[in-house]
Structure 1
């Protein structure tokens, strides 16, 4: 694997394309069970992505990028809007009339989050991090993605899906 493929920008950009592909699949099917499966998969992937960014990326951005606190705060606000839509999607009737407007809103907010990261945050990373630091951060994020979901992610997924997990009342 080349160094560029482990660069944090490449790692997170691949995540963004994966999220967009899942959303595209969700909008292209009309079968309620497939919609539920894709909605749940999208929710897990979005939450995994955001938890990893919150734990690994944003603290570095706040420390090392001039104006990094404002940049991180903006993408976190975008993420909060995405999270609200995911929560509604978790309990929505995916065969009902609410599905299309809900998914359209989700698409708009997820797109805004991705655009903010790719157009503002990522250029700041290349301006203020050495390429070795970007690779190390990318490898740390890849490692976090491979690990079993931590309790924080598991709890967030359960909360967003509005469901109890195994052993929960």
Structure 2
């Protein structure tokens, strides 16, 4: 993973997994069941990723990155924009034009955010944050992504303690709903 460790390696690896999902979505037939399922997977991955970043990355950015408060606020606004798009996307008809337009908007916005993080934010965090903190945050991000909610909630709190608290409730509920929805289709 290009020499990175801890939280930066975890988040960069998740960025790569989401980009791969985007590639599969582009290759799938528009309006088809495969594309719809891939979009659902990508949306769930993005929500889990956002929860982990809100819970662990942005508090570290605030503490260890120059202008960290401003940067964290910009990132949180970007997450809200993506979650609003995801909420609209997951509610749209997969065969409709709106779905395609929303999908293009999500991919563009997320890709831009990933590039900004990887090229600017992560190097600044690595420069200012102790290695043991980066490693610990990586473990926390991995654990959070494994149990986090999977459905977009644009109005959910952004404050790290509230994100961690609400994730403990919404995560299991979302996974239960996800399993029920899959059974209903099968």
Q: What TM-score, normalized to structure 1? A: 0.81
- Aligned partner of 2:136 in structure 1 is 136
Pairs within 5 Å for 1:86-105: 86-105=86-105
Task: Report the alpha carbon displacement of residue 5 of structure 1 after superposing the two structures with TM.
Answer: 6.4
Aligned residues: 159
The reply on whether 1:53 has 2:71 as its aligned counterpart is no
Structure 1 residue runs of 4 or more that deviate by more than 6 Å after TM superposition? 163-166
Structure 2 alignment gaps of length 5 or more: 150-167, 181-186
Pairs within 5 Å for 1:19-30: 19-30=18-29
Which SS does the other structure have where 1:115 is aligned?
helix
Task: Report the alpha carbon displacement of residue 165 of structure 1 after superposing the two structures with TM.
Answer: 8.8
Distance 2:52 2:148 in 1: 12
Which SS does the other structure have where 2:76 is aligned?
helix
Q: RMSD of the alignment, in Å?
A: 2.5
Task: Report the alpha carbon displacement of residue 10 of structure 1 after superposing the two structures with TM.
Answer: 0.8
Which SS does the other structure have where 1:25 is aligned?
helix
Choose 10-19 or 57-66, whichever is displaced more: 57-66
Q: What TM-score, normalized to structure 2? A: 0.75
- Aligned partner of 2:62 in structure 1 is 62
Distance 1:97 1:146 in 2: 33
- Over 3 Å counting, the alpha-carbon distance change for 1:146 and 1:90 in structure 2 is closer
